[in-house]
Amino acid sequence: MRSLLTRQSVRATSRFYVLRRPRESFTAQCSLITSVTLEKASPVPRSLETKMPSLDGFLQRVRECNTGLEELPTLTPFLVDGKEVGKLKPRFVEQVRRFPEVFVIEGEPGPSGRVTLAADLDTCEKRSAKVAEVLQVLRSEGFITGWRDELYPVVASFAESPLLLVERAAATHLGIKAYGVHVNGFVRDPAGSGGLKLWVARRSLTKPNWPGKLDHIVAGGQPHGLSCRENVLKECAEEAGIPASLAATARPVGAVSYLTIAANGYKPDVLFCYDLELPPDFVPTPQDGEVSEFSLKPVEEVAEIVANTTEFKTNCCLVIVDFLIRHGYLSPEQRGYLQLVAALRSGDCS
């Protein structure tokens, strides 16, 4: 609104007049300014506070992202170049034990033991090549499924250069930290109420993981060789037909983390969160068959789906709750607020 004022001569309505008015009447002016601010900056959304005196529903979703930890004492640390980069389930330790020229098992399986790589594998290239051979065998034997032909970096923490690269489908078996980008695609209510709507995707029923579940407009794993920003542009184009010029306005707004011990292994994941404001009449279009449909829902409706159902792919719930917190939809007046803020980073956020 104000930016328009500076660019074109809109006739001075009382609403604009105050913005130019001299400051002799401070309080009178503030009350007027406020009416402007309420339109521009939009009122604080309070409906969720009324509907949800407690945030237990959201806390339950967070718990569902952090499960199976009772198995922790059965896992064997996976070390590369002296750094712990993952953990293996007993089943997988026995599988890699068959390839002593690549995987070396020291001590007994479990927290006291360790899985490492053969000493002669002293570069990222050598390690990646030999480990890939092993993973291909396990794939051919049907032990590793859902092969993606996508390489994930193996690192102790995000900024470090990879110690080796492994096929994405093996990430959980090796228990390495996996990173992803999740984009909140939102629209400001054109009526100026300040209300927001979120674009929600319905995952295709043919997807191997989470078929038919609700998802973000755009989300994807963070592969080797792309920056997070480049990955956001790529996924925006591939998953929703969002042109680069628009996708480039996505803002990094933080990260959430969780830790799950799933059937196939240890999953310490970190999701980089992005906010992407979309024009009211932009409509995302499924591009790669991974999404069956997109729908635009008021944020309050999305919040109730997250709090009261398991319709969303589990890890999306963390990113949506983070969105609700950052945009003022939740408040310290709601029971569990601080626990929820803290729980969004339950995993190793590094």
Binding positions for its own copies, 211-230, rule CB under 8 A = 227-229
Task: List the one residue from 14, 25, 37, 145 that touches its own copies (CB under 8 A).
Answer: 37
* E-assigned strand segments in 128-191: 151-154, 164-167, 178-188
Token couple for 122: 């002293």
User: Measured from the CB atom, is 88 or 187 closer to its own copies?
Assistant: 187
As a whole number of angstroms, the distance between CA 61 and CA 58 comes to 5
* E-assigned strand segments in the chain: 76-80, 83-88, 103-106, 114-117, 151-154, 164-167, 178-188, 196-203, 214-216, 218-221, 251-262, 265-277, 291-298
Which residues, numbered 194-213, are part of the site for its own copies (CB under 8 A)? none
Task: List the one residue from 14, 17, 30, 136 that touches its own copies (CB under 8 A).
Answer: 30
Contact in structure between 18 and 29 (CB atoms under 8 Å): yes
Q: Which residues does residue 291 pair with via DSSP β-bridges, in sequence order?
A: 203
Task: List the one residue from 100, 146, 211, 279 that touches its own copies (CB under 8 A).
Answer: 279
The interface region with its own copies, picked from 57-65, 210-218, 295-303, 320-328 by CB under 8 A, is 320-328
Which residues, numbered 42-81, are part of the site for its own copies (CB under 8 A)? 42-44
Least distance CB 190 / its own copies (angstroms): 5
Least distance CB 187 / its own copies (angstroms): 10
How many Cβ atoms sit within 10 Å of the Cβ of residue 293?
11
User: Measured from the CB atom, is 212 or 336 closer to its own copies?
Assistant: 336
User: Measured from the CB atom, is 208 or 332 closer to its own copies?
Assistant: 332
5 binds its own copies (CB under 8 A): yes
Task: List the one residue from 126, 168, 224, 326 that touches its own copies (CB under 8 A).
Answer: 326
Least distance CB 247 / its own copies (angstroms): 9
Token couple for 79: 């070390």
Least distance CB 282 / its own copies (angstroms): 6
Binding mask 146-185 for its own copies (x = CB under 8 A): -----------xxx--------------------------
4 binds its own copies (CB under 8 A): yes
User: Measured from the CB atom, is 55 or 316 closer to its own copies?
Assistant: 55
Residue 238, helix vs strand vs coil: helix
Task: List the one residue from 88, 154, 320, 330 that touches its own copies (CB under 8 A).
Answer: 330
Token couple for 203: 């995952």
Burial class (CB in 10 A: 0-12, 13-18, 19+), 117: buried
- Binding residue count for its own copies, defined by CB under 8 A: 79
Binding mask 233-272 for its own copies (x = CB under 8 A): --------xxx-xx-xxxxxxxx-x------------x-x
Number of H helices, E strands in the chain: 13, 13
User: Measured from the CB atom, is 262 or 283 closer to its own copies?
Assistant: 283
Burial 144-182 (b: 16+ CB within 10 A, else e): beeeeeebbbbbbeeeeebbbbbbbbbbbbbbbbbbbbb
Pairing mode of beta strands 251-262, 265-277:
antiparallel
User: Measured from the CB atom, is 4 or 147 closer to its own copies?
Assistant: 4
Least distance CB 251 / its own copies (angstroms): 3
As a whole number of angstroms, the distance between CA 50 and CA 322 comes to 19
